[in-house]
Amino acid sequence: MHIPFTKPYAAGNELTYVRQVICGDRWAGDGTFSQRCQEWLRGMLNSVEVLLTHSCTAALEMATILCGLEGGDEVIQPSFTHPSTANAVVLRGATPVFVDVRADTLNLDERLIERAITERTKGIIAVHYAGVGCEMDAIIDVARRHDLWVIEDAAQGILSRYKERYLGTLGDVGALSFHETKNVTSGEGGAILINNPRHVARAEVIREMGTNRARFLRGEVDEYVWVDMGSSYLPSEIVAALLLAQLEEIRSLTSRRKEIWRRYHQGLQDLELAGLLKRPFIPANCDHNGHLYYLMMPDQNARSRLIAGLGAREISAHFHFMPLHAAPAGRRFGRAHDRLPVTERAGECLVRLPIWIGIEAHLDRIIAEVTAIVRGSATAAT
């Protein structure tokens, strides 16, 4: 039986809610289901405001507009991330400045940020890799001392916490993803978390193509006009209906993913003790969400052998981000601050194992196959 890398899971009420939308009179965004999702997220995460978007990419683009990013500015961020993190900066005419990540969590190395700051630096984007929180206290401290804003790319971090606070709620603005690969999904989708009250009114305008449509619909103004820059960032009500069904079951879904993560971690412990690979590290001040499980192999050849070996056994496993600073667009639009050896090693050596609700029955097989391939490769190498 083929085991896919990822697989969406229907939590229960998806068809019921989508049917309600189809039978109703509003399919466009910001209807009843959108409002219910936003209220749910505000209450759960304790953010000042939450607005659904059609993707996390859209939320990041909104965030850079809200923070006033302009041409010629610089933003410090990791290179080991999705291109969307950098595109949100590039689309404003600014420059992403890539800083290395920590070897333990693969998150932005907070110890390297200050030396990358120049007179052009306007902000920091912290990416919470694998749903594990960056060292936000240190990052926010640097930002405050240098009058910089902080955006949290928490695409992978729904319901993860750093020191008891949910990821995405610690900086000025946060961004979540509800893509098919995420813990809760609406196929595509995202949300922007507004944590600075001064951004709330403008966020509504930017999200609605630069108009005051939201205020007009609430009866707060008499005219519906173009008042600022913006774009169409709303998801449809069908997307929101899918998302609400998932949010209603988020604690159960997160618990199940964390149990899958735990079983991988326990089952592959002996390989790490034998020095054949490294497992993920979770800091004591973080509560992760079981979003993904990865292994750091000794080198690129070992990673390729593991991925190919699992593929031959009909188990899908993948590498992850190609470092942005080494990509054609990264060299064109951004720049690396100093060398990025940890980032480059992650790009060459990291392999992600399949993780999705329902994979539980296959975990023993996957763990056994990983163990056999890794030990077999180590024996052949010696």
Domains and CATH numbers, the chain: 14-247 (3.40.640.10), 250-381 (3.90.1150.10)
65 φ, ψ to 5°? -65, -45
Q: 9-25 pLDDT, tens per residue?
A: 999 999 999 999 999 98
Q: What distances in angstroms separate CA 161 from CA 67, 131, 156, 269, one per listed residue?
A: 24, 9, 12, 25
| Angstrom distance (rounded) from CA 209 to CA 232 | 5
* Percent of the residues in the chain that have a pLDDT greater than 90, as a whole number: 92
Q: Are 112 and 137 in contact (CB under 8 A)?
A: no
Cα 93 from Cα 69, distance rounded (Å): 8
Q: What is the mean pLDDT of residues 293-308?
A: 97
Instruction: Give the pLDDT mean for 214-238.
Output: 91
Question: Do 99 and 337 touch, CB atoms closer than 8 A?
Answer: yes
* Residue 219: predicted pLDDT: 81
Grouping H, G, I as helix, E, B as strand and the rest as coil, residue 30 is coil
Q: Which residues pair with 68 in a beta bridge?
A: none
Query: Would you state the pLDDT for residue 218?
Result: 84
Residue 382: pLDDT band (50, 70, 90) is low
Q: What is the mean pLDDT of residues 357-382?
A: 90
Query: How far is residue 160's CA from residue 290's CA, in Å, rounded to a whole number?
Result: 9
Instruction: Please tell me the predicted confidence (pLDDT) of residue 213.
Output: 87
Confidence of residue 338 (pLDDT cuts 50, 70, 90): very high
> Is-contact 61 91, C-beta < 8 A?
yes
Confidence of residue 293 (pLDDT cuts 50, 70, 90): very high
Mean pLDDT (the chain, rounded):
96
Q: Please, how many CA atoms are within 13 Å of residue 288, restricted to the half-sphere of its CB?
A: 24
Q: Looking at residue 323, what DSSP letter applies?
A: P
Long-range contacts of 200-205 (CB under 8 A, 24+ apart): 200/48, 200/49, 202/66, 202/228, 203/49, 203/51, 203/62, 203/66, 204/51, 205/230
**What pLDDT does 222 receive?**
87
Sign of CA dihedral 159, 162, 166, 167: negative
Q: Which of 277, 350, 381, 343 is nearest to 103 (CA)?
A: 343
pLDDT at 321 exceeding the cut of 70 = yes
- Are the C-beta atoms of residues 140 and 170 closer than 8 Å to each other? yes
Residue 236: the pLDDT is: 96
Q: What is the pLDDT of residue 381?
A: 67
Binned at pLDDT 50, 70 and 90, residue 109 comes out as: very high
Query: Which band of pLDDT confidence, cut at 50, 70 and 90, is reported for residue 172?
Result: very high
pLDDT value of residue 376: 87
> Could you tell me the pLDDT band of residue 1, with boundaries at 50, 70 and 90?
confident
255: pLDDT strictly greater than 90: yes
Q: Average pLDDT, stretch 237-255? A: 97
In 154-284 the beta strands, taken as DSSP E runs, fall at 161-162, 165-166, 173-177, 190-194
- Supply the pLDDT for residue 29: 87
Distance CA 161, CA 347 (A): 26
Residue 97 phi, psi dihedral angles, 5° rounding? -110, 115
- Burial readout 197-214 (b: 16 or more C-beta within 10 A, e: otherwise): eebeebbbbbbbebbbbb
- The predicted pLDDT at position 48 comes to 95
Contacts of 345 (CB under 8 A, 6+ apart): 296
Q: What is the sign of the dihedral through the CA atoms of 141, 144, 146 and 152? A: positive
Cα(111)–Cα(109) distance, integer angstroms: 5
Phi then psi for 88, rounded to 5 degrees?
-60, -30
What CA–CA distance (Å, rounded) separates 156 from 127?
Answer: 9
